Amino acid sequence: MLDIRDLRKSGEALQTRLALRGYTLDLDAFNALDAERKDADMRSQSLQAQRKQTAKQVGDLVKSGMPVEQAKAQVAQTLATLDAELDQEVARAEAVQARIQAFLMDIPNVPHESVPAGRDESDNVEVRRWGTPREFDFAVRDHVALGESLSDGAIDFERAAKLSGARFAVMTGTVARLHRALIDFMLDLHSSQHGYLETYVPYMVGPDALRGTGQLPKFAEDLFKLEGERELYLIPTAEVPVTNLFADEILEPSLLPQRRVCHTPCFRSEAGSHGRDTRGMIRQHQFEKVELVQLVNPEQSDAALEQLTGHAEAVLQALELPYRVMTLCAGDMGFSAAKTYDLEVWIPSQNTYREISSCSNFRDFQARRMQARWRNPATGKPELVHTLNGSGLAVGRTLVALLENGQNADGSITLPAALRPYLRGAERIGV
């Protein structure tokens, strides 16, 4: 959420920056709401002053010769009228403030000054590449065909559909172990080499947590809401519970930076994605992800984004998977992000790179919604932290990339050396 003081002071500049991402900031509507709020506040203050003055009039009326009881009754009648008016103004002020809050919650984050202009993914800018896509001397099969044909395990979409419908998968045997091995490998790498604290969180959260990271109220249709006595949602990503661990807290400087790594299932309705990636595991309602989250001193967040992105890249490099890094243009960034790097892994069957991780700096956008703060030692006062996160990595898409890039003519899959200790030393599967 943006700082309302910035809207009042620099509304036109923010309007220009937000236009880069295709958002039209209605300054006239905001100014009208803010003026109405100010009028309600001033009217309330005036009525409170009148009430205070009226309450003192009993003695003056008695001194002028009015009987005590009559003076009390007259003042009480005036106070009752003022109280009714004051209640109306307080209610009006609260209603206007709620409308202002809803207005602010609908505004996306302002793009960082280094973010390129552009409308969609075609305007994203490539930063670098790592690895060279393999050239095959046989017909490449996609992960669906590979998963169905492996001799010691399988990816079964038909049985998953029988259980839950489309966009789900059942994995068995070596494929299931490979999936689990990827999770363990990623957690070990980030916790032992990159300095993240492994964290376990609930897979269900309340609406306040989703408002804090920006999924609500704007993206409710993308969530799975549970029925029951409490308002709970299945998490779309570990970003939501992990970042919200620090909501409504003031962290001492010694507790920053916070670096957390967390593995969870993720649940997404994929609203609006009908017809996209309907085959296989690229886009599912339920998938696993290892998430990296950082809370940092605001002066360090730009450097922290580069560092976090490097941590996600390290997974791909260790797994020997070719990839490229893209800076997202303003029009392609997520709602809460100020700057985002996408890591795109090479998918042989599609002959293209596909997103496997988004690494974003949210600056103080999420922190303001959550009221996550730190105590600045220079001033001794609480200030908003900056939050960042990124996939380190999406496990299902990593599995897809491993199967396709490691496939052999005989149907087996060659495993990268870094993963073999997690699979009993096996160099291949499917043989």
Residue 312 · residue 326 · CB < 8 Å = no
Contacts with 308 (C-beta within 8 Å, 6 or more apart), sequence order: 292, 294, 359, 388, 389, 390
- 412 among annotated binding-site residues: no
Residue 119 · residue 331 · CB < 8 Å = yes
- 413 among annotated binding-site residues: no
Backbone torsions φ then ψ of 39, nearest 5 degrees: -65, -45
Backbone torsions φ then ψ of 306, nearest 5 degrees: -65, -40
First to last CA, the chain: 53
Catalytic: 230?
no
Catalytic: 198?
no
Catalytic residue chosen out of the listed positions 134, 355, 375, 383: 355
- 151 among annotated binding-site residues: no
- 148 among annotated binding-site residues: no
Q: Do the bridges between strand 204-205 and strand 197-198 make them parallel or antiparallel, or are there none, so unpaired?
A: unpaired
- 356 among annotated binding-site residues: yes
Catalytic residue chosen out of the listed positions 177, 397, 404, 412: 397
- 237 among annotated binding-site residues: yes
- 238 among annotated binding-site residues: yes
Nearest CA to 399 among 429, 364, 362, 431?
429
Q: Which helix H or strand E contains 55, and what residues bound it?
A: helix 27-55
In 10 A of CB 398, how many CB atoms? 27
- 268 among annotated binding-site residues: yes
Catalytic residue chosen out of the listed positions 283, 324, 375, 428: 283
Catalytic: 424?
no
Catalytic residue chosen out of the listed positions 301, 358, 360, 412: 358
Nearest CA to 125 among 388, 342, 270, 382?
342
Catalytic: 355?
yes
Q: Which helix H or strand E contains 58, and what residues bound it?
A: helix 57-63
The per-type count for the chain, helices as H runs and strands as E runs, is: 12, 18
- 85 among annotated binding-site residues: no
User: Helix 173-192 vs helix 301-318: angle between axes, to the nearest 10 degrees?
Assistant: 140
Catalytic residue chosen out of the listed positions 37, 268, 363, 368: 268
Catalytic: 254?
no
- 404 among annotated binding-site residues: no
Tokens of 9: 């002071």
Which of the residues are catalytic?
A: 268, 283, 355, 358, 397
Binding residue numbers: 237-239, 268-270, 291, 355-358, 391
- Residues flagged as binding site for ATP: 268-270, 355-358
Residue list for the binding site for L-serine: 237-239, 291, 391
